[in-house]
Chains A and B, each alone.
Chain A
Amino acid sequence: MSEGTLYDKVWDRHAVTRLPTGQDQLFVGLHLIHEVTSPQAFGMLRERDLEVAYPDLTHATVDHIVPTSSKERPYADTAAEEMMAELEENVHESGIEFSHPDTGEQGIVHVIGPEQGLTQPGTTIVCGDSHTSTHGAFGALAFGIGTSQIRDVLATGTVAMEKQKVRKIEVTGELGDGVEAKDVILEIIRRLGTEGGVGYVYEYAGEAIENLDMEGRMSICNMSIEGGARAGYVNPDETTYAWLEGRERVPEGEAFEERKAYWESIRSDDNAEYDDVVTIDGGELEPVVTWGTTPAQGVGVTEPIPEPEDLPADKVETARRAQEHMRVEPGETMEGYPIDVAFLGSCTNARLPDLRRAARLVKGRTVDPDVRAMVVPGSQQVKQAAEAEGLDEIFTEAGFDWRGAGCSMCLGMNEDQLEGDEACASSSNRNFVGRQGSKDGRTVLMNPRMVVAAAINGEVTDVRAMKEVTVNE
């Protein structure tokens, strides 16, 4: 078993006791809730006559169902309105702080946590959403949980969990031009498989990870779950501290220095023991795009799509079905794959630096007339900051639809959905069949600049071949 890793240290600090099942009862430092997975838990609480144990360590937002066209209430979709009203009532009754759309702080749960300084190193964070792994970018232990566990956390401030193994994934070298954090994680999942992380948490390390900004680290940790790992994290460092300093809800001055000492203390030791170590040469990577219907079915943009028969035996059938669904041919590359829709958004890649980089490429160009292209900022704050820099104008002048904050077309729970067999270049995290609202829809995952490049050319494009225009940042 691992020893001396951040995972071990933070786990030990938060373990309350060993339960009769052999699981640990783990204290939860931050419980994030949203409208899809929490109402049933509040219902169970009422049934059992229980109250929220730590309302001050709980924070709510609304993201999955919010329309991105208008904030007008009641929402046109009555089911969405009912979910919103239910959340409003639950948080009001329990005294839980709510980043309501009217506050200007609403957004995707995994964007607003860090943004508001709620997400800090050395904490335990849970949320009824598998991409809670995002918060690991700060050196927090962050887990996605189900609704019965949400009930537990609401009622007790704790969750029952079994300790897992720790795999260190070291990404060495320097990422090439056009290669982003998203490509690193797609490559990791491609190599280790969608179930490769089952039983593990991933510690991301190495020069290429250390050189990333916080948003890049969030993109990587975000998709840990797509590799089967329940959580992923990066050890906190000066990049982390600089990002946190001055944010709302982060201690100031002397208190900040004191807190920093704690953050430093939970970093993995230099001689920490890991259950497994994997090394990837970041310098060798190119932009990665998916050709199939799981995030592991990816390929470098200039590489041939594999023959199903060349894959491990248990992957052959899935690959064959995926290629049929996506209408791709083995031996060909994804470059030139025609797309109908471009979606720049989601908790993986809808933060300010993602939008900035994409805008640099978009400036002075126009979206292919046959492509429906949209930019959905991850939060109201991201949207506002982007507008202050004029990024919205760059996007709209090019023909992109500039929308309100939310999960949007990542999972098709609001009006933003694929229609029929549309193919979508998407900066989101999942390309499962039916994921974007149409069971015949086709999703190609890629980094944000690759998404806008595809929007401009109407097909999957190697972003490295496109000239950039500088935007003032």
Chain B
Amino acid sequence: MSNELEIPSVDSVSGTGVAVRGNDIDTDQIIPARFMKVVTFDGLGEFAFFDQRFDDDDNEKDHPLNEPQNRDASVMVVNANFGCGSSREHAPQALMRWGIDAFIGESFAEIFAGNCLALGMPTLEADTEVVEELQAWVEANPDGEIDVDVAEETVTYGGKTVGVRVDDAQRKALVDGVWDTTALMKANAEAVDETAESLPYVEDGKRV
């Protein structure tokens, strides 16, 4: 059965980094609404940060994702309240399809972090100074390897290891490989029915 698919454990992520600076970067910036007129997520990668990356005539603007040395980056280092605004999963989907596997930032909007988790992408939080130092390092060392250890809540780069924070549920889901919750929850179908029937507004799975 395809719904019993193996969910990989995401206990670590390694790769080069890209710094996207700025607080309150909203999902409208990450993927403008006009690119959401699609019925699958395929191909969204090229539209990530589109309006920050291209001008009206589709000429490239200064943006870290346009820099050739960042093209293979898999760890995105951001600032505070990243991914605020719309709940569109198109945002993390676009970044994932661009090549990002993990985010390190000062803070993340709740739904964005939840959407990332559903895709097996960790969102790790760190203090402002830690993030800024890492952003500066990433910019100076575009080929430098970053090792993210989700289980240990550490990030190692340039010979040093710093502490980051991962939400408990997120860490457990990623490390134990239970972040794709469909099969997990489907297994409790009987208990779900019982809960439903205990509610005054549901009867036989219908609204009453």
Q: Interface on A for B, CB 8 Å cutoff?
A: 13-17, 19-23, 25, 27, 29-30, 36-37, 39-40, 43, 47-50, 53-54, 56-57, 64-65, 77, 79-80, 82-83, 86, 118, 120, 122-123, 128-130, 132, 144-149, 151-152, 155-158, 160, 162, 194-195, 198-199, 225-226, 228, 230, 249, 251, 258-259, 262, 294, 314-315, 317-318, 321, 411-413, 430, 432-435, 437, 439
Q: List 20 A-B contacts (CB under 8 A).
A: A14-B199, A15-B195, A19-B184, A21-B176, A21-B181, A23-B169, A27-B195, A36-B88, A53-B189, A57-B206, A130-B87, A147-B90, A155-B185, A156-B185, A262-B200, A294-B26, A314-B128, A430-B28, A434-B29, A435-B33
Q: Which residues of B contact A317 (CB under 8 A)?
A: 22-23
- Select the residue from B29, B168, B181, B201 with max chain A CB neighbours within 10 A: B181
| B76-124 with Cβ < 8 A to chain A | 80-81, 84-90, 92-93, 107, 109-111, 114-115, 118-119
Q: Which residues of A contact B2 (CB under 8 A)?
A: 47-49
* A152 adjacent to B207 (CB under 8 Å): no
Binds A, one of B38-46, B62-70, B146-154: B38-46
* A86 adjacent to B39 (CB under 8 Å): yes
Given contacts A155-B3, A314-B23, A432-B85, 11 further A-B contacts (CB under 8 A): A25-B192, A27-B195, A130-B86, A156-B192, A194-B81, A225-B111, A251-B208, A259-B200, A317-B23, A413-B34, A430-B28
* A146 adjacent to B172 (CB under 8 Å): no
Q: Which residues of B contact A17 (CB under 8 A)?
A: 188, 191
Given A21-B178, A57-B202, are A39 and B107 neighbors across the interface (CB < 8 Å)?
Answer: no
- Select the residue from B26, B176, B201 with max chain A CB neighbours within 10 A: B201
- How far, in angstroms, from A230 to B132 measured CA to CA in the complex? 28
Given A20-B172, A40-B41, are A148 and B188 neighbors across the interface (CB < 8 Å)?
Answer: no
- How far, in angstroms, from A43 to B26 measured CA to CA in the complex? 26
* A149 adjacent to B114 (CB under 8 Å): yes
- How far, in angstroms, from A162 to B111 measured CA to CA in the complex? 12
* A49 adjacent to B1 (CB under 8 Å): yes
Given A21-B178, A57-B206, are A411 and B111 neighbors across the interface (CB < 8 Å)?
Answer: no
Given A57-B202, A146-B114, are A48 and B182 neighbors across the interface (CB < 8 Å)?
Answer: yes
Q: Interface on B for A, CB 8 Å cutoff?
A: 1-3, 5, 22-24, 26, 28-29, 32-34, 36-41, 51, 80-81, 84-90, 92-93, 107, 109-111, 114-115, 118-119, 128, 167-170, 172-173, 176, 178-182, 184-186, 188-189, 191-192, 195-196, 198-202, 205-208
